[in-house]
Structure 1
Amino acid sequence: MPTNRSNARAMLTLPEVCDELHVSRSTFYDWRQKGRAPRCIKLPNGDLRVRRGDLDHWLNELEDAA
């Protein structure tokens, strides 16, 4: 059974996602506004997180579309 610690590691911060995708934060927010970004979780403090699985799925969908 996964622990909270492993769940936390499965969620990426916005800087981690932007770094992995080699895009700026403003580009990510632009994609998000246009509905082109991976699914995000908005925390109560306003920070965004992206599940590793959602990011991988999103990337796979882009590969299929290419």
Structure 2
Amino acid sequence: MSTTKLGLEPLIGVEELAEYLGVPVQTIYDWRLSGRAPRAFKLGKHLRFAVSDVQQWLEEHHEADHE
């Protein structure tokens, strides 16, 4: 059964997030250490990111339009 059918939000891993953002995986870990990464869930030794948290994080880091 898919997470969508259960009403759960998809979670992505560090590798998927890095690929989506076009940055090395190590950059995600560096951002986490400095407190600049999106919120994450730690499931055992794995990090997972909710798609909505990534979208919100991106919006917060969106540069303002300059006129």
TM-score (norm 2): 0.80
1:32, distance to aligned residue in structure 2 (A) = 0.4
Q: Give, in whole Å, the separation in 1 of the partners of 2:61 and 2:3.
A: 30
Q: Secondary structure at the match of 1:27?
A: helix
Percent sequence identity is 35
Structure 1 SS opposite 2:35: coil
* Bigger Rg, structure 1 or 2: 2
RMSD after superposition? 2.1
Q: TM-score, normalised by structure 1?
A: 0.81
Structure 2, unmatched stretches of 5+, are none
In structure 2, the partner of 1:58 is: 57
- Hey, which bits of structure 1, 4+ residues long, moved more than 3 A? none
Q: Deviations over 1:10-59 (max 9, x none)?
A: 11111110000011111110000000000010002x11000000000000
Distance 1:65 1:37, change over 3 A: farther
